[in-house]
A = this chain, B = another copy of it.
Amino acid sequence: MQSVETRLRVRYAETDQMGVVYYANYLVWMEVGRVEFCRAAGGRYRDIEEDGYLLAVLEAHCKYVSPARYDDEIVVVATMGEANARLPRFDYEIKDAVTEQLRATGSTSHIWCGPDFRPRKLAAKYWPVFGITK
């Protein structure tokens, strides 16, 4: 399964008074990474959601390795950890784009839902976007 890299620049808004990126913002970057994963695979999460499939989060985990700082260029590497039409999982590596130093690793486990938040198996037409084969 391929990985998709997304670049972003640390915003002032994302720092806190410790002078580093506030820890919850890494989860925002993971979201950016998985959306770009879809786009690189030929799908737009926006369209899939409008079609009635919501990627709700069941679990999130982040291990902080070294602090990212204001104005750093960051790479989010998103991988499909578990390609599944019901319960997919994404894995992430967050690195400095220049030094390639690892900043964080993490994962998010999801469930495909309908707009009513009830479980809804992802339609087969979207399987290629997420590398689902059966």
Identify the A interface with B (CB < 8 A).
9, 11-13, 15-20, 22-25, 27-28, 31-32, 35, 44-46, 54, 56-64, 67, 70-71, 108, 117
Judge whether A18 and B62 touch: CB under 8 Å: no
Q: Shortest CB–CB separation between residue A67 and chain B, in angstroms?
A: 7
Query: Of the candidates B15, B46, B58, which one forms a contact with A63 in the assembled complex, judged by CB atoms under 8 Å apart?
Result: B58
Residues of B within 8 A of A13 (CB): 16, 22, 24, 28, 31
Chain B nearest CB: distance from A105 CB in Å? 10
B contact residues around A22 at 8 Å (CB): 12-13
Contact status A61-B61, CB under 8 Å? yes
Nearest residue in B to A6 (C-beta to C-beta)?
B9
Additional 9 contacts, C-beta under 8 A, given A23-B108, A60-B60: A23-B27, A23-B57, A24-B27, A46-B70, A58-B63, A58-B64, A59-B63, A59-B64, A61-B62
